Amino acid sequence: MRSVNALVAGEQVSPNGSVLDVVDPANAETFAQVPSLDADAVTRAVDAAAAAAPGWAATPPQARAALLARTADLLDARAEQAIDDLRREGGKPRAEAAGEWGKSVATFRYYAGLAGALDGRSFDGGTPGFTTVTRQEPIGPTVAITPWNVPAASPARKLAPALLAGNPMIVKPASATPISAWHMVDALREAGAPDGVAQTVSGSGRVVGNALALDPRIAAVSFTGSTSVGLDLKHALSHTLTRIQLELGGKNAAVVLADADLDAAADRIIAAAYALAGQQCTATSRVIVQQDVHDALLERLVARAEALVPGDTAEASTTYGPLIDEAQLDTVDGFVRRAIDDGARVVTGGKRLDLVGTWYAPTIVAGVDRTSELAREEVFGPVLAVLSVTDVDDAIEVLNGTPYGLSSAVHTSNLHHAWKVAGSSEHGVVAINGPTAGIDLPVPFGGFAASGTDSKEHGPESLRFYTRLKSVTWGWA
Ligand code: NAP
């Protein structure tokens, strides 16, 4: 049994007393334990972050950037163990785990190169002899609350910009997947981060996450997770001035028009629909296909979905992973059963796989009514809903017919149609002849409507959330 710590106020807290069991969903084995902390640990963590904040804010951005670069090297050095932990806690095939880990380390290197982005502007206004300059300043202790589906990538894309901007950060990882976040704060400690600058507090979201977010000394909360918990947090903070960034769910769609390259479209749709077994905020969850090519596309999608290989996640030949737990499997199966009741038909999958662990077959449901639950609500599992439309205008109407607005794609060889869909899409991300998932690091990422607060992660834009802008006017005449 692996024993993994939390890091609070510069101290490694080992899993004695109350613990969280970490289960590998690919084989139902409990393989690790972490401490399940309480409100006392939250107070100690916030005390330490508050004490560290002035010193870290006064550390020059280049020195903070150097810490991130050293951290990236240390994360590389522990990659073998960390990838294995990520593979097991998240139930990810090894290539998927290695890909997420590599992108997470690259996130630290990317922000290590962005110290110069903490710049300002100068104005010579209407008053002679006066010039104003703007400064991007740190805001104080911050909290990251992260989901189980990307246990490494989500903490990385919050920790790196928060620390570069001069703020301590406390990470509350999802209870199902608490190990990758600890690797990151531990590497930051090893790289020389002062006590309190980077911490993890593992434990229940309702207890630890809530107490962290509501502590009045916390300047900002970056939350990635479900829309319902995100909205509850926003409500709980509504009487405070604590900043909150919400990165929430999606009902992402790929539009496929009659003139698309159907093989290329099918490749991209399948990759984005079934990576992480569909448990990805940007997973393709709907295919909106022009009726002329409906059958031809469906045939290609089914062939590719049925070629995915579930099994031992340590094997290179495994290309498809399990769901995180039984509750998620029941949720996914419930969506499929209700879609059948709504008149849709399962073309492939639609059932649990006969393997130990929580496995559900890659599923395609056709004949989905555009007003039905499966067309509008996030499943967060390996279920692709296929909807038929008449033309590009009809496709746009269906594309925007959900409460969400995270990611979308259009497949076409017609430039006019491509830009018409991109310009009309009510989603924060649009890919033309590309997948809905897999956003590059410099690209601003975040959703509209029920998908979040439109406060971007990734890229230099991420630094805005973690800084405040001060205008300094000086008279020189
Ligand atoms: P979740 O249930 O909302 O949990 C997310 C995090 O919030 C976990 O760390 C959880 O801790 C914590 N939490 C739960 N209740 C809380 C409370 N009352 N106060 C404070 N924290 C609380 O979401 P999930 O099931 O882990 O993740 C799946 C969701 O995340 C999907 O909807 C997916 O679309 C979304 N997501 C969005 C993005 C994006 O960038 N837009 C990326 C990835 C995932 P516990 O684990 O201890 O409950």
38, 148, 251, 407: which to mutate for ligand 1, most atoms within 8 A of CB? 148
* Buried residues in 233-264 as b, exposed as e (16+ CB within 10 A): beeebeeeebbbbbbbbbbbbbbbbbebebee
Determine the CATH number of domain 252-441. 3.40.309.10
Atom 23 of ligand 1, nearest CA residue: 225
Determine the CATH number of domain 2-248+452-475. 3.40.605.10
Q: Is the pLDDT of residue 125 over 80?
A: no
The answer to whether 220 and 143 have CB atoms below 8 angstroms apart is yes
What percentage of the chain has pLDDT greater than the value 90? 98
92, 221, 229, 332: which to mutate for ligand 1, most atoms within 8 A of CB? 229
What percentage of the chain has pLDDT greater than the value 70? 100
145, 221, 252, 284: which to mutate for ligand 1, most atoms within 8 A of CB? 145
Return the ∠ at Cα 180 (arms to 177 and 183), rounded to 5°.
145
Mean pLDDT of the chain: 97
Indicate which residue of 89, 96, 100, 281 is catalytic.
Answer: 281
The answer to whether 393 and 417 have CB atoms below 8 angstroms apart is no
Question: Amino acid identity, residue 181?
Answer: A
Mode of pairing for the β-strands spanning 130-138 and 467-475: antiparallel
Query: Looking at the DSSP assignment, which residues form a beta bridge with residue 360?
Result: 352
Which of the 8 DSSP states describes residue 47? H
Ligand 1: distance of its center to the CA of 141 in Å?
Answer: 21
Residue (of 385, 392, 389) closest to 368 by Cα position: 385
CA distances (Å), origin 102, targets 92, 178, 188, 271, 337: 14, 18, 16, 18, 37
Q: Is 189 in the pocket of ligand 1 (CB under 6 A)?
A: no
Residue 374 CA, distance from chain mean position: 22
Atom 42 of ligand 1, nearest CA residue: 281
Residue 281 annotated to the active site? yes
Q: Is the pLDDT of residue 45 over 90?
A: yes
Q: Model confidence at 246, in pLDDT bands (50, 70, 90)?
A: very high
The answer to whether 432 and 422 have CB atoms below 8 angstroms apart is yes
CA distances (Å), origin 95, targets 318, 321, 344, 366, 423: 9, 11, 34, 30, 35
Q: Is 210 in the pocket of ligand 1 (CB under 6 A)?
A: yes
Q: Is 147 in the pocket of ligand 1 (CB under 6 A)?
A: yes
Query: Looking at the DSSP assignment, which residues form a beta bridge with residue 403?
Result: none
Any alpha helices (H) in 285-391, and if so which ranges?
294-306, 326-341, 373-376
| Comma-separated ranges of CATH 3.40.605.10 domains in the chain | 2-248+452-475
The answer to whether 64 and 56 have CB atoms below 8 angstroms apart is yes
Ligand 1: distance of its center to the CA of 186 in Å?
Answer: 23
Q: Model confidence at 329, in pLDDT bands (50, 70, 90)?
A: very high
Q: Is the pLDDT of residue 122 over 80?
A: yes
**Helix or strand run (H / E) with residue 347:** strand 345-348
Q: Model confidence at 126, in pLDDT bands (50, 70, 90)?
A: confident
Which is the closest atom of ligand 1 to the Cα of 445?
40
Indicate which residue of 247, 326, 397, 457 is catalytic.
Answer: 247
What are the pLDDT digits (tens) for 381-428? 999 999 999 999 999 999 999 999 999 999 999 999 999 999 999 999
pLDDT of residue 273: 98
Ligand 1: distance of its center to the CA of 196 in Å?
Answer: 24
Q: Model confidence at 313, in pLDDT bands (50, 70, 90)?
A: very high
Atom 13 of ligand 1, nearest CA residue: 205
Q: Is the pLDDT of residue 170 over 80?
A: yes
Spatial distance between the Cα atoms of 385 and 383, rounded to a whole number of angstroms: 6
Q: Model confidence at 477, in pLDDT bands (50, 70, 90)?
A: confident
Residue 397 annotated to the active site? no
Radius of gyration of the chain (CA): 23
Q: Which of 165-174, 179-188, 468-477 has the lowest mean pLDDT?
A: 468-477
Which of the 8 DSSP states describes residue 193? P
Q: What is the mean pLDDT of residues 113-120?
A: 96
| Comma-separated ranges of CATH 3.40.309.10 domains in the chain | 252-441
pLDDT of residue 100: 98
